[in-house]
Each structure stands twice: as structure tokens, then as C-alpha cells.
Amino acid sequence: MKYDIIVLGSGPGGYVTAIRASQLGFKTAIVEKENLGGVCLNWGCIPTKALLKSAQVFEYLKHAEDYGLKVKDAEHDFNAVVKRSRGVADGMSKGVQFLMKKNKIDVIEGFGKLKTGKKIDVDGKEYSADNIIIATGARSRELPSLPQDGKKVIGYREAMTLPKQPKKMIVVGSGAIGVEFAYFYNSMGTEVTIVEYLPNVVPVEDEDVSKQLERSFKKSGIKIMTSSEVTKIDTSGKGVKATVKTNKGEEVLEADIILSAVGIKSNIENIGLEDVGIVVDRDKILVNDFYQTNIPGYYAIGDVTPGQALAHVASAEGILCVEKIAGQHVEALDYGNIPGCTYCSPEIASVGLTEKQAKEKGLDIKVGKFPFSASGKASAGGNKDGFVKVIFDAKYGEWLGCHMIGAGVTDMIAEAVLGRKLETTGHEVLKAVHPHPTMSEAVMEAVADAYDEVIHL
């Protein structure tokens, strides 16, 4: 079989790439060894959000009296929560199947391996294309000191489908995956301890955001150990024991399960990269601005490349890649304007430079901050934890960064992304009338604070 484009992998990078290729008139096929939608739809972004929604609803029930309501003996059914999450994932995967049919994309099931001459072998059957796009994604990374057995030491995949809720859990790593699961299991009643190697939780975020999340989590009963490292585990007993090295010495923690959330590992093994001669550096396939590898006709997008490992980044890269192949005039992706979202409670959303990064660049900046405790909508909703923080260049008014923590902020960050894309200034944001009462007006108020014009603080 000969195609214009074959996409290897059907995650949010792969399937979006295939659809855009089909829209541009290319005869397109997609190769998938498991489920359409990849990790994101089946074991990542979507099912975790379903779990987190159940946790949020349960939290509301537990605090119903705060809203003048009475709910007697609110209980949760852990297995039913997991079942709902799987149902949501299955529905989304079926949706991708529909999109493949609608766009006349051939779905080739099986494990694909790259061959020279722009060919792919799928379980013994060979397919060729003018262009092959690698979108094989990533999986949970394993540390030598923390080998995963899938039972007592698990990754994110097992964390979504545990047959029984653990009484005690240790979460190693406090990136997005770690803090989301920490919030979920804590809300369900599990005793959770987070162990983070770096001095702050969610270490890629602005330090003010990290400190706020730590306060909120501690208030919820989550134990947090920063500047700490799991050096040894013992799974010989009924549960698991973890030896943790801290600034104060060693401490042994006991739990039913350890969740390893220490990052991801690119899926680049055994897919034929060496056979074709595609260059890899430090677990990533090297590509140019439009995702061409060093071998003509072979491209790579998403988690297997050096950009941010985020679903929306993979999708954007795939679209750019096929539009470039089609001969369209496209601009290279601006990786400095990629929003990051974390869906624990309170939520976190950010884009651009942190305050520390701006200062390290030697920039003269204006910083504004507006707490949700001063927001009418946040007070009415009972969600006063958190704030919006903005960073502007003092001379030109360029919007350098925006950092949010609070209820619903993942739905608010797009304003900053769009504003930065359109090169808006602080004064323009300030003069754009924001609706009241909303959570989003906190953006305007934070900008006003940066320019010493804040009204409600």
C-alpha cells in the first residue's frame, strides 16, 4: 500500500496530524498498536480529568454545609469512580475512530517499525509513503532506585485503575501527574505523602504558585517532603517501605502503594530509528523548526522531540508539520508562548516567564498580583485560595508572563496566551473591560496592580 503520509502513533499528536493531512488532500494512514487516542485519551489527560471531577464533586458534598446545605453521610464508591473514568476514556477513543472514518484515514492496527526507503513494517506487512511522521509519544519513566512492579510501585497508568483504594500512598515527584493524583487520592480519603527532590513542589512553576499549592495541599492533609529523595524501597512485606533522604537525615515511610511520577520516557525503542539512521540525542529525536529529521521524508512530533511534552503542543506541531509538507507558508511554533495546566485543586495555569526567569534575564519588570480572596466570584463560589500574577516589561509594556492558581484557572489562561500572541501591552489589557463578577476579572485586577491602579485591593 502506498500513501502520501503515514503517521506512526495515534495520540493527540498523531490523530490530529492525520486529520489535518487528510483535510489538505493527502492520502493518509495511521498506525496504532493499542487504542486510538494514545495515552492522552486512554490513560492520561482525559480519564484523569474524569477522576478529578469525581473528587471535586465529593469535596463539594463533604463541605455542603459551607453552602447552607445538608447532605447526610456522603460516601464514595471507588470502583464506580474508576469505572466512570474508563467510560469517559472509551467514549473519547470511539470519537477518534469516528473522526478517522469521517476523514477517510486508513487505520493500520499493529506495531509499526520504520524501514529505509520511506517504508513502515506493521507486524510483517509493509507500507510505503512519501512522508512518514513519527508520533509515538512517551511513557512513565522508571528510576533505578524505584523500579515499577505494577502492584506496589506503580506508574500513572496503574494509578487510574487500582482495584482497591489504598489507605496510604507515597507519591514520588510533584509535577502535574504527581500533584493531580495526590489531590485525587487525598480527596477520596487516602493518606498521601508527596516526596519531591527539588526545593519546591511543581518546580517548573513560579515560586509564588509553588508556595501557594503547598499551603493548600497541607491544609487538605497532604504531607509534603521537599528537597527529599527516595533512595531505597522494600516491597517484601505486606505494603512497601521507602527510605527517604532529607536535609535532616534518613526517614522510612510506610504505605500500601508508591506512585512513581518522576517524568516520562520517550517511546523510541525498537521502532527502527537506528535502521533508518535518524539522529537521536538524550532520548529525543532531533528535528528542525518544521519537524523534519536528518533523513528526508521522515518527520517527528510530540513527546519524542525536544519541545514541551504536552498534548496541545503535539497537536500544534503535527498541524504545522503537514501544512509545511503541503507547501503552505507557516511560522515556526513559539515555544515561549505555550500554556501549561495542572488540574489538581486548586488548579494551576501559566505561560511565559516566571518572575525569577525575568530577573535572571536582567529585565526591568512590573509585577502585579491579585488574590482570589478579594474576588467577589471566588468568595461566592467558596474558592478563595490562589491568585493571578502577571509580569510585564517596564519599558515597553510587553506581557512577559502570567501565572495563576485557583479554581478554574486552566480555563482562564488562554487570555494571556492570546494577548501575548497579539503582542498586547499592559495598558491594553487594563482598558479591555472584563465582566463582573467573574474569576477572569482577576487578570485585569492583577494588571492594574502592576501599574499601581488596582481598585479592589
Catalytic residue positions? 436
Give binding residues as ranges.
Answer: 49, 112, 173-180, 196, 263, 303
How far does Cα 299 stand from its chain's mean position? 23
Are 256 and 169 a contacting pair, CB within 8 Å? Answer: yes
Q: What are phi and psi of 176, to 5 degrees?
A: -55, -45
From 319, 317, 299, select the one nearest 308 (Cα to Cα).
317
The Cα–Cα gap between 321 and 314 comes to 10
Q: What are phi and psi of 71, to 5 degrees?
A: -125, 120
Contacts of 28 (CB under 8 A, 6+ apart): 3, 4, 5, 6, 7, 18, 21, 22, 103, 104, 105, 106
The Cα–Cα gap between 397 and 402 comes to 13
The Cα–Cα gap between 192 and 185 comes to 7
Distances (CA, A) of 295 to 36, 131, 132, 238: 27, 11, 11, 52
User: Cell triple for residue 369?
Assistant: 498580583
Q: Residue 181, CB half-sphere, CA atoms under 13 Å: how many?
A: 34
> Helix, strand or coil for residue 166?
coil
Give binding residues for NAD(+) as ranges.
Answer: 173-180, 196, 263
Q: Which residue in the block uniquely carries the three cell numbers 506487512? A: 125
Amino acid at 318: G
From 176, 190, 191, 345, select the one nearest 262 (Cα to Cα).
176
Q: Which residue in the block uniquely carries the three cell numbers 482570589? A: 372
Are 251 and 244 a contacting pair, CB within 8 Å? Answer: yes
Give binding residues for FAD as ranges.
Answer: 49, 112, 303
Are 205 and 354 a contacting pair, CB within 8 Å? Answer: yes
31: buried, middle or exposed (CB in 10 Å: 19+, 13-18, 0-12)?
A: buried
